Amino acid sequence: MPKRILIADDDEDIRRVIRWFIESRTTCKVCAEAVNGIDAIEKARTLKPDLILLDYSMPAMNGIETGAVLKAMLPKVPVILFTSHDTRAIESAAISVGIRAVVSKTDIGRLAGHIENLVA
């Protein structure tokens, strides 16, 4: 059975591209999409995905805040922050709440490797 991924990004076009990328370049399947952090938390609680991919800049809660809640709720589920705000400060904040990797949206090619390594 393929590993299941939850994608959270407020941009529908980005979610569509990420879904296509994940399902064409990895052995995983997207089990759900969330439009913001609160939606991601609700869907993660219900679906218990194998990996969660979060955007940093989302309405209601950003990716760091959402990641902190998700790691407390599902501590064994790896979380990746996928962001266009690729700074050391954001990376440090992400790691400090338990997010396993930060990948720049400008470097989508690295995403497949991180996903495969974290769900193996």
Q: What are the tens digits of pLDDT across the range 24-55?
A: 999 999 999 999 999 999 999 999 999 999 99
Whether this model's pTM surpasses 0.85? yes
How far is 8 from 28, CA to CA, in rounded Å?
16
Number of domains in the chain: 1
Residue 83 domain boundaries: 4-119
CATH of the domain at 35: 3.40.50.2300
Residue 67 CB neighbour total at 10 angstroms: 28
Please report how the helices 37-47 and 63-73 are oriented relative to each other, as an axis angle in degrees rounded to 10: 20
Nearest to 50 by CA among 103, 117, 104: 117
State yes or no: pLDDT of 10 exceeds 80. Answer: yes
How far is 11 from 58, CA to CA, in rounded Å?
9
